[in-house]
Amino acid sequence: MFLVKFIIVLVIVGLIMTAIEMGIRKVFKIDKRDKKRSRYMNKFHRWGEIILLVVMVISYSLFSSQFPESKWLQVWIILFFLILELFRAGMEWKFAAQKREYIIHLFFCLVLLVFAIIAFKTMWLEQIFGF
């Protein structure tokens, strides 16, 4: 049941982030990224993301095997994507041809931070008050 709820939350977050991206592109007049262009700025960016993904998968599998019913897994996943978006924003700010593309990633970080706070507060209230 936990997994179903978590997948529903991820779908909702994905839809919200897509709407935010469309709004930010319109407000800041940021052109859509060319599909032909690679999503990585350089080799450091590519390997940095690969290393972050490997670390996330390994730490998630170790943590979930130790604590299979832990709700901290939600917070860990959200914080991981926050770190990944911050890394992307830094790479885009430093190396992108379109210098304003990083603004979208920074807004994604803000949204993910809000969701992490909500997830943490919800767990905290549940543990104390039994909600």
Q: Which two tokens stand for residue 113?
A: 């931070």
Model pTM score: 0.71
98 pLDDT above the threshold of 60: yes
pLDDT at 48: 93
Stronger pLDDT, 112 or 130, i.e. the higher one:
112
Q: Which whole-number Å values give the CA distances from 86 to 3, 33, 67, 89, 90, in the listed order?
A: 26, 18, 28, 5, 6
- Read off φ and ψ for residue 55, nearest 5 degrees: -60, -40
Domain range summary for the chain, segments of one domain joined by +: 46-131
SS3 state of residue 80: helix
